[in-house]
A = this chain, B = another copy of it.
C-alpha cells in the first residue's frame, strides 16, 4: 500500500498490528534509450508488488541517488555520497520515531550502495529496530533467473527494459552491444565516461521477450517479499 494513499490516522492504525515498511531508493540518471527514471520505477514497483498482499506500506521512492559517472549525460542528477548517507539516516530516524521497527530499503541503483553502509552503522545503535538494505536485482534468485534469459545483463540493457520502463515512440536497437570493460567505469573522468559509455548501455541486447521479463519479475517480487516475512532475527 502506498503511503501516498494513506493519511496519518491510517498509518497509526496500521502500526497497532504491524511495524514493517519499505522505502524504495531510486535514481534519476541516463539509461540509454529507456526512461531516466528506470531505477526509481523498478525499485518502487517491486516494493509495491512485494508488499501488496502483506499490507505493508510503501513510502514514496527517493528519486535521487548517487550516479557520478553519468553526470555528463543530460537529465542525470547525482548526489554526493555524504549527502546521500545523511538522507538515509534522517529517513531511518523518522521512521523509527513514529513507530516502525522493521524497515526495508529496496534499492534500484548500484551507486546507492553507501546507503547500505549507513544503514549498517545506524542499525548498531538501535534497540529493537531493524533495517535491511537490499538490491532487488542481484538478490540470488532474481540474478539466477536473469542469467537464464541472457548471460549479459547490465545497466540500461534488456535487464532494465520492461513495459513500464520503455518510452513511447522510442525504437530500441535490435543488435546487442558488446560488453564494456567495467574496470574503466571507475577510472575515467566524467567527460571520458561520456565517450566511453556511448549510448549508456553497459553491454548486451537492448530488449528481450516480455514474457521472459515478466517471469523474471515475478521471481524478483517473490524474493523481495520474502525479505519482509523472514530474516529479522530474534530481537
Q: A7-B36, A233-B188 are in contact. Are A15 and B66 (CB under 8 A)?
A: no
Q: Which of A165-217 contact B (CB under 8 A)?
A: 167-168, 170, 181, 183-190, 192-193, 196, 199-200
Identical copies of this chain, number: 6
Contact of A117 among B114, B199, B235 (CB under 8 A): B114
Chain B residues, Cβ within 8 Å of A87: 64, 79, 83, 87
* A35 to B, closest residue via Cβ: B4
Are the C-beta atoms of B127 and A81 separated by less than 8 Å?
no
Chain B residues, Cβ within 8 Å of A186: 116, 119-120, 123, 131-133
- A interface residues, tally (CB under 8 Å): 96
Chain B residues, Cβ within 8 Å of A97: 71-72, 190
Give chain A's interface residues, CB within 8 Å of chain B: 3-12, 14-15, 28, 30-37, 40-41, 57, 59-64, 66, 68-69, 71-83, 85-87, 89-91, 94-95, 97-99, 111, 113-114, 116-121, 123-127, 130-133, 167-168, 170, 181, 183-190, 192-193, 196, 199-200, 231-233, 235
Nearest first, the 7 closest Cβ-Cβ pairs linking A and B are A11-B75, A60-B63, A11-B74, A4-B37, A124-B190, A8-B30, A83-B86
